[in-house]
Amino acid sequence: AQAPCLSLNVPRHMAGLEKTWLTVRKSYDEMTTGSGADRVPSCLYEKGENSCLSGACIEVPCCDAYAPNQSCRFIKPSYNEKTYSYEEFYRDVMPKLHTGDIYLGGYPRSGNKIGAFATHSRWSHVGMIYRRSDCPEILKTKCVSAGEDIDWSDQIHASRPLIAEVVQYDDQTPGFTLGDFEDGSKMYLGQKIDSPNYADWEPWQVAVRFLTGVTRNTSFYQAIEECVTRNHNDMYKYDINVAIDLCQWMAAYPGCCCLQCERAPAQPGFVFCAEFVGDCYQSAGLIDPDLDKAEFLPSMFDTTRALKLLDGAELSPTEHRLVGIDSEEEAVQAGFNQANNNWGTDVTKAVEDVPFSGFGPPAQQNMDSGGYKRMAD
């Protein structure tokens, strides 16, 4: 008889909920069915972002007002990355995360071939870091999953980085999710061995990029909080048109209105993961307000693209990357407790504040061995 799979993908802040994203999970390829993309010959996109025509429909760099491509189209994309072990990532990288930093998720190519082909990137998902201790008087949103506030959200220590993201549930459930970074990312990374259906798939991946050159003041945090509130009850949407951008710049000129068909359709009450992050960045004055936030892709936030940020703001030139679990043996080596069937993450424990090189910690907060404390203004 086949041994039961480890259940690594229900973090404790989601445990007990009647509906989680796990119960309605679909692959990205499944979500393209009915959009017309499923009628594209599979031989063209079988290798995803590594296919010979990958990226054929993204904008040429000189015309791209969003995030010009830095990696040659039609060949395997090149990332500027540093890969960590589990211990290194959560010990050395996680404490440096602050509100506004970027979180990237890589759904395996086996379930995202056409999406990876169209966007020329391994990264299929993007979210944003939300750390309540950065500005506790403003950043007050409770942790939420599948449309339900987490009852014990206040027990999650204010210093712990959270992931603010929009994920796919169903057409009736809000997609906005706010949960502990360590808990949620370990859940995401462990999915390969959660089901025998994924035995031949690549492992899931995550990465982060640090937002630098930004004054993180009251106005910045207020803009982020307002964006979170604005998108809190929206449902997830995914439309392959968001990845079709070639010559889209011409749509702004008379006589080129036909190219409007390349634009992702506006759907009030629905939001894509990259659209949410783009909305937050626009609200904070980091992105040109004239750009269409519905046209943002996860790949625009990775190192294959040069996201156009304003007023000296930049994303760190390196993706700090962690590759997920490929076997039960790796899970145990990475710290998974088989007896208790969990990672042993203590979300009530403070995370020491370690500034990323290039900017110091927010002026209004500090961490010490005794936990969170306010500094005098």
Residue 133 and residue 159 in contact, taking contact as beta carbons nearer than 8 Å: yes
On the question of pLDDT at 138 being above 60, the answer is yes
Q: Which helix (H) or strand (E) holds 319?
A: strand 319-323
Q: What mean pLDDT comes out for the span 312-336?
A: 92
Which of 65-79, 172-186, 261-275, 328-342 is predicted most confidently? 172-186
Give the angle subtended at the CA of 197 by the CAs of 194 and 202, to the nearest 5°.
Answer: 80
Q: Strand 365-368 to strand 319-323: parallel, antiparallel, or no bridges (unpaired)? A: unpaired
Give the angle subtended at the CA of 137 by the CAs of 135 and 141, to the nearest 5°.
Answer: 85
On the question of pLDDT at 8 being above 80, the answer is no
Instruction: Quote the CA–CA distance of 274 and 28 in Å, as a whole number.
Output: 15
pTM reported for the whole predicted model: 0.84
Instruction: Quote the CA–CA distance of 169 and 261 in Å, as a whole number.
Output: 27
pLDDT per residue as tens digits for the range 226-264:
999 999 999 888 776 666 665 565 555 455 554 555 566
pLDDT recorded at residue 10: 46
Instruction: Quote the CA–CA distance of 30 and 5 in Å, as a whole number.
Output: 24
pLDDT per residue as tens digits for the range 186-214:
989 988 887 788 888 899 999 999 999 99
170 or 258: which carries more pLDDT confidence?
170
Instruction: Quote the CA–CA distance of 17 and 148 in Å, as a whole number.
Output: 8
Name the one residue in this structure whose structure tokens are 């992105």.
287
On the question of pLDDT at 156 being above 80, the answer is yes
Amino acid at the residue 348: T
φ and ψ of 43, to 5 deg: -65, -25
